[in-house]
Amino acid sequence: MVQRLSGPRVPPRSGGGPQQLVVLLHGYGANGEDLIALAPYFQQRLPHAAFVAPHAPQPVPGMPPGMDGRQWFALDSYDPNMMRRDPRFAAQMYAGMAEGAARAAPAIDAFLDEELRRHGLTDRDLALVGFSQGTMMSLHVGLRRPGAPACILGFSGALVEGGGEGESPGAAWRNRPPVMLIHGDADEVVPVEAMFEAGQTLAAGGVGVIWHVCRGMPHSIDEEGIHLGIGFVAGHLLGASRRAG
C-alpha cells in the first residue's frame, strides 16, 4: 500500500485558481515546513502558482524529542569523506541510495498525481524543487514520470542511479525535463563533486542540464541560489503556460 503524503501548502498569491504547481521536497532530517518557506520568494515571479511541501513518510531514528525530522529513505551507510576517497565505496553507496529512492518514489508519484488532479493541471504545469535528499528524489521521480514536468531544480543534492555495469546513462528514464543544479563549493555534507557527476550523467543521458556553484556556501541555500533558481523555474513554467495557450 502506497503511503499518503501531506504537508504545508501556500495558495496562489493572485487569489484565483492555480495555473502552475511547485512541489518542494525537503532534505534528510527536515520536513515540509523547511522548504515551504521558499514559496514567498517564488511567488514574486509566479503569482498564479500553488506551492506544497510534503513531509517525507519516515521519521529519522534518534531525533531529539520535539523535532519532527523526516527522511525519504535511510542514510545508514552515507559517508561524504569516503565518497571522495574511495570510488568503489561511492558506487556501493549510490546503489543503496538508488534502492531507497525507488522505494520512496511511489508515494511521491501518487501525491503529485493527486495534487495535479485536484488543481486541474498536468505535468507540464509542474516544477519539482528539491534540497539535498529532496533533490535526489526530485531527479529520481521527475525523470521517470509518464509525463515530463516543466522542470526540476535541485539544491545541494546528487543523482542516485542504480544501473548495472555498462548500462547507458538514462536507460531507466521515461522523459528528460530541463534540470538546474545549484551547489555550494564548501558543502561538507554532499560534496560539490556530486553535482558535477550528476550534471555529466544527466547530459550524457540527453537531459538539458545547467549548473551553478555558489562560492563559499556550505550545505544550504543562499540568496544567489534562490534568485537563479526562481528565474529557471519561472521561465519554464511560464513558458509552458504560453505554449499551452
The residue extents of the domains of the chain are: 9-244
pTM of the model: 0.93
The residues near 143 (Cβ < 8 Å, ≥ 6 apart) are 152, 170, 172, 173, 174, 175, 176, 177, 207
Q: Inform me whether the pLDDT recorded for 89 exceeds 80.
A: no
With beta carbons less than 8 A apart as the criterion, state whether 115 and 9 touch.
no
Q: Inform me whether the pLDDT recorded for 243 exceeds 70.
A: no
With beta carbons less than 8 A apart as the criterion, state whether 43 and 86 touch.
no
Higher-confidence position of 69 and 67: 69
Report the mean per-residue pLDDT for the chain.
Answer: 92
DSSP code string of 110-129 = HHHHHHHHHHT--GGGEEEE
Q: What's the CA dihedral at 214, 219, 224, 229 to 10 degrees?
A: 100
Cα 233 from Cα 110, distance rounded (Å): 22
Three-state DSSP class for residue 51: strand
The string of pLDDT tens digits covering residues 192-208 is 999 999 999 999 999 99
**Grid cell in block for residue 114:** 493527486
Cα 141 from Cα 173, distance rounded (Å): 9
**Grid cell in block for residue 49:** 502558482
Please name the residue that has the C-alpha cell 495558495.
11
How deeply is 145 buried, as exposed, middle or buried, from its count of CB atoms within 10 A (0-12, 13-18, 19+)? buried
Going across the sheet that includes 20-25, the strands are 9-10, 49-52, 20-25, 126-131, 151-155, 179-184, 209-214
From 14-18, 147-151, 217-221, the region with the lowest mean pLDDT: 14-18
From 29-43, 72-86, 159-173, 205-219, the region with the lowest mean pLDDT: 159-173
What pairs with residue 51 in β-bridges?
10, 22
CATH 3.40.50.1820 fits 9-244, yes or no: yes
